[in-house]
Every structure is written in C-alpha cells, then in structure tokens.
C-alpha cells in the first residue's frame, strides 16, 4: 500500500475478529513504526506487546476496577474535560459511532457497554502498551516523540491489513496494566494501541471521522498569493 493511500484510508478500528495475529507480522509493524523521528534521536519509547492470558488479565482488572468505582489512575497528566471546538469534535465522533451502532441517547446500558469496550481494549487480540523512560518525565518532548511512533504503529498496521485504535481508556487503570504487562518501574505508561484483524461486519468500523480543511489548520507566511 502506498503511503498516501494508507494515510487517506486509515481509520480507527474498534471491532476485531477472534483471530490471532502472528508475532512475525507484529514485529514487521513495529520495525516500520520504529523509524519514527524523535528529538535528537533519543528514541524514548518502549512497546510492550500483550496477547492471550496476560491481556485477558488486563481486561478483567480494568473492568472490575472501573465498574467498582475505582477512580482512573494514569501516569501522565490528564488534560481534563475538553472545551470549545475540541469538545465539539469529540461529540461529533461520538454521535457518528453511536448512530452506526444504533445506540440511542437515552439507552444508558448500551452507552455504558460501549465505554467498557474501551477498558477491555475493544476485545482486540493484541494490545501494545506504549511507554517512555521515566528519566525524561516532567516535559512534553518525549510525549511528542511517542505520538510519532504511535501513529507509525497504526499506519504500519493498516498497510499490512490490520486494524488498530489508539486507546487511552485501556491504560486508565495503569497499576493493572503495569502488573500484567510486566512494565519496569523506570518507565511511564503513556497509552496503548488495540490491534487485530478488522471485523468488517462491526458497524462502527465503517465510521470515518471528518477532518478540517487545510486552510483551517495551516497558515502560510511569505508565499506569493
């Protein structure tokens, strides 16, 4: 798949086939993503790839804690509630997804089930937990670098026929993730990526988020009109 085709067609996949992903294919995806740029070539990322029983333990731990009312425990500073245009775009994609899945606004049970899917890593066969060296904590440059490698992961996966979604919900109970992914104490958990073969019959997988036009996101200085 050509780069421009992958970038234009890639979308977040939230429903997966019950089918394992070969380790060799995941290693191929990671090798591509590992070419991501980083500040002064620091390459601060670590990728912890889970499947099978360890991933099931993460799902169970996340779900039981959230349903039990345990507040989220994240290792990076949360931005809090979105406001203004950011909130508008958040609501827009939620409406698209709920419409695709036939979830009514007043259906609290179905809405909660949808939220819990995120804590279950969307029932994907693979989860890649993205971390960085704790020695680099306290700034945002490492966060920027991890954004690059994480986009590389989802793009490389898509180019190989896999689907993925960047899943902040999946690490909201970070102690659970750290335990079962065997993440060292000198690393900070940033996010995770749910990955697997897309389920083409899962309605939400067809949802494509809208994007702003170039003139809305970019300004040009010094160019001839």
| pLDDT tens per residue, range 75-86 | 988 888 999 999
Query: What per-residue confidence (pLDDT) applies to 78?
Result: 82
Query: What per-residue confidence (pLDDT) applies to 183?
Result: 97
pTM here is: 0.94
DSSP string covering 73-126: B-SS----S--HHHHHHHHHHHHHHHHHHT--TT-HHHHHHHHHHHHTGGG-SE
Contact 187, 46 (CB under 8 A): yes
| pLDDT tens per residue, range 148-180 | 999 999 999 999 999 999 999 999 999 999 999
User: Which of 14-18, 78-82, 183-187, 216-220 shows the lowest mean pLDDT across its residues?
Assistant: 78-82
């Amino acid at each position: 798949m050509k780069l421009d085709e992958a970038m234009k067609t890639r979308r977040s996949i939230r429903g997966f086939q019950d089918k394992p992903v070969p380790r060799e294919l995941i290693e191929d995806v990671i090798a591509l993503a590992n070419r991501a740029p980083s500040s002064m070539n620091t390459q601060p990322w670590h990728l912890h790839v889970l499947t099978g029983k360890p991933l099931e333990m993460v799902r169970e731990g996340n779900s039981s804690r959230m349903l039990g009312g345990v507040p989220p425990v994240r290792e990076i500073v949360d931005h809090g509630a979105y406001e203004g245009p950011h909130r508008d775009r958040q609501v827009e994609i939620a409406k698209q997804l709920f419409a695709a899945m036939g979830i009514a606004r007043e259906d609290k049970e179905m809405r909660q089930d949808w939220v819990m899917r995120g804590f279950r890593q969307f029932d994907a066969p693979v989860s890649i937990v993205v971390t960085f060296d704790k020695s680099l904590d306290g700034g945002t440059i490492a966060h920027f670098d991890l954004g690059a490698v994480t986009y590389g992961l989802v793009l490389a996966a898509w180019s190989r026929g896999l689907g993925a979604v960047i899943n902040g919900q999946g690490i909201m109970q970070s102690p659970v993730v750290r335990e079962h992914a065997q993440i060292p104490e000198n690393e900070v958990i940033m996010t995770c990526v749910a990955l697997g073969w897309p389920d083409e019959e899962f309605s939400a997988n067809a949802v494509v988020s809208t994007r702003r036009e170039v003139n809305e996101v970019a300004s040009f200085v010094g160019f001839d009109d």
